[in-house]
Amino acid sequence: MKEFFILEGAYLILAFLILLVTLFVTTRPFMSKKAPKKGLISVGLVLAFFIFLHFYLTTNRINSVKKAFLNGEKIICESRANTKAAQSIIIKKDFGWSIKGDYFISPNYIRDFHIARCIIY
């Protein structure tokens, strides 16, 4: 459950704001009395579907990246530390990287990289 909130926290906040806008619009005088209930349910179901779909796809990618890393394949990760050059970094077991939880760590590199921000090279 903690992983869900870490990966989807921003999307949950956006979904809440969208639901607030939906509530505001559906409670206007020109809308029917059933509009708030119908609007919140339909928009809420669509948002929940897309959030859980994103979580499912992200966790599947995390598992495939972990498996590929353990098999010695190269992994490419997004680096936000330096946005002027070298915006990605190649990670491989042979380069001294290891996995700790959901992060790639290396004694030779200052930052850890969350596996959700990585793909197989």
Cβ atoms of 121 and 71 closer than 8 Å: no
Cα–Cα distance measured from residue 109 to residue 95, given in angstroms and rounded to the nearest whole number: 11
Using CB atoms within 10 Å of the CB of residue 2, give its burial: 0 to 12 exposed, 13 to 18 middle, 19+ buried: exposed
Residue 23 pLDDT: 94
Cβ atoms of 104 and 95 closer than 8 Å: no
For 65-103, write each residue's pLDDT tens digit: 999 999 999 999 887 666 665 678 889 988 889 999 889
Cα–Cα distance measured from residue 116 to residue 61, given in angstroms and rounded to the nearest whole number: 7
Phi and psi at residue 99, to the nearest 5°: -105, 130
Cα–Cα distance measured from residue 60 to residue 68, given in angstroms and rounded to the nearest whole number: 12
For 23-47, write each residue's pLDDT tens digit: 999 999 998 999 999 999 999 999 9
